[in-house]
């Protein structure tokens, strides 16, 4: 399971607990996630346990194909509520529900529309946050009618990580959903295809696509020290490739497991950008650094080289057979060849 899926589950759990007392027939539908190599391990989502604690009927689906909503005392479900569900609710399901569907989205739509709004709010350096309750559109994600929303520009969140931001938006989203249900705001629109957006606002809106491995691959030539550290906090750990030799015909993936630290008293060393360099002796507590494109030196924490275990940089490089002979010398390169700048294998 990826990190952003777990945060989505947390948002769903907080909303489910908040809405429990207000919904007469509660039947959350939450598919289990597959994870691990080959996606062969099936993991129950945390909301499953929440449903059991609240004694809610639970229906787990990984596709809507051939699936029909359950009846409640012989009557069809009249309102669908999706919170961080992960599947697109098809038109036939929405049309069977008398009042269509509602969705809680942790941004001020249409800004940061997409599956990863919290991550992109932080990645872009946006200082404001908000929540939207919208109707479920039968054809598009995040294109329904807005029923309630945090007044723009939102509140100043001052968060640095997704869990911190989640702690702020989750209770706001739960309260907003309850207000919409209690006030019957879903009655304002009986046409589930209706879409209301300001054209100029929609055109300027930022997308929040799913985070992929490419987003974690460090672009040493363009990412500043601040960008690298921010990305590690929000979507880390980050990664790169390191070559075995200068011919570049063999390389391994390097995961920067614990990220980087920036200190003002570290001298800038004239080494290629992205090339780990030893400053001091092997026994120094913080003795491996990397220079960024904006001429800053970042101290490297623990790393994991493909095929090895997480360890301090020198230990990991030696165990992988990639340590330069000059490792023990001040200002010596850590690896026998430079870090590869090219994302030659983006699907890793």
Q: Which two tokens stand for residue 333?
A: 């390169």
Of the three residues 204, 230, 256, the one that is the final residue of a domain is 204
Please indicate, yes or no, whether residues 171 and 299 belong to a single structural domain of this protein.
no
Please indicate, yes or no, whether residues 228 and 196 belong to a single structural domain of this protein.
no
pLDDT at 24: 46
Is 348 contained in some domain? no
Please indicate, yes or no, whether residues 118 and 265 belong to a single structural domain of this protein.
no
pLDDT at 286: 47
Please indicate, yes or no, whether residues 198 and 218 belong to a single structural domain of this protein.
no
Please indicate, yes or no, whether residues 8 and 149 belong to a single structural domain of this protein.
yes
Specify the DSSP class assigned to residue 21.
G
Structure pTM? Answer: 0.83
pLDDT at 191: 58
| Domain residue limits at 269 | 213-340
Of the three residues 204, 235, 268, the one that is the final residue of a domain is 204
Tell me how many domains the chain contains.
2
**β-pair type (297-300, 288-291):** antiparallel
C-alpha 209/C-alpha 212 separation (Å) is 9
Q: In what order do the strands lie in the sheet with 146-149?
A: 80-82, 101-105, 132-135, 146-149
Please indicate, yes or no, whether residues 18 and 126 belong to a single structural domain of this protein.
yes
Is 192 contained in some domain? yes
In tens digits, the chain (348 residues) has pLDDT values of 233 344 555 666 666 565 555 554 545 555 555 555 555 555 666 677 777 787 777 777 878 888 888 877 777 788 998 887 878 999 999 998 999 999 999 999 999 999 999 999 999 999 999 999 999 999 999 999 999 999 999 999 999 999 999 999 999 999 999 999 999 998 876 555 555 555 556 667 999 999 999 999 999 999 999 999 999 999 999 999 886 655 555 788 999 999 999 877 888 888 889 888 887 655 554 478 899 999 999 999 999 999 899 999 888 888 888 775 544 344 455 654 445 444 443 333
CATH of residue 330's domain is 3.10.25.10
Is 101 contained in some domain? yes
Please indicate, yes or no, whether residues 148 and 7 belong to a single structural domain of this protein.
yes
Please indicate, yes or no, whether residues 176 and 243 belong to a single structural domain of this protein.
no
């Amino acid at each position: 399971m990826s990190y952003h899926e777990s945060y989505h589950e947390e948002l769903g759990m907080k909303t489910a607990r908040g809405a429990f007392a207000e919904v007469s027939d509660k039947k959350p539908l939450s598919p289990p996630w597959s994870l691990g190599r080959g996606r062969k391990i099936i993991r129950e989502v945390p909301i499953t346990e929440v449903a059991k604690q609240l004694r809610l009927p639970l229906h787990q689906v990984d596709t809507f194909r051939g699936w029909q909503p359950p009846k409640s005392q012989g009557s069809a479900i009249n309102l669908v509520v999706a919170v961080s569900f992960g599947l697109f609710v098809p038109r036939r399901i929405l049309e069977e529900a008398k009042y269509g569907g509602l969705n809680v989205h942790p941004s001020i739509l249409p800004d940061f529309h997409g599956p990863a709004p919290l991550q992109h709010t932080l990645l872009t350096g946006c200082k404001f946050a908000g929540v939207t309750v919208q109707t479920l559109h039968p054809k598009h994600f995040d294109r329904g009618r807005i029923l309630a929303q945090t007044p723009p520009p939102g509140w100043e969140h001052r968060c640095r990580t997704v869990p911190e931001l989640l702690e702020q938006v989750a209770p706001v989203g739960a309260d907003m959903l309850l207000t919409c249900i209690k006030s019957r705001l879903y009655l304002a629109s009986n046409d589930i295809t209706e879409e209301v957006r300001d054209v100029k606002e929609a055109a300027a809106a930022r997308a929040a696509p799913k985070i992929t491995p490419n987003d974690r691959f460090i672009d040493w030539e363009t990412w500043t020290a601040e960008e690298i550290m921010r990305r590690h906090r929000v979507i880390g750990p980050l990664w790169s490739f390191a070559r075995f030799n200068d011919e570049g015909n063999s390389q391994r993936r390097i995961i920067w497991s614990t990220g980087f630290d920036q200190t003002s008293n570290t001298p800038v060393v004239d080494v290629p950008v992205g090339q780990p360099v030893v400053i001091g002796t092997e026994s120094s507590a913080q003795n491996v650094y990397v220079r960024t494109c904006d001429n800053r030196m970042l101290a490297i924490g623990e790393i994991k080289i493909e095929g090895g275990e997480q360890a301090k940089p020198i230990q990991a490089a030696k165990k992988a057979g990639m340590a330069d002979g000059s490792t023990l010398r001040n200002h010596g390169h850590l690896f026998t060849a430079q870090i590869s700048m090219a994302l030659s294998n983006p699907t890793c």
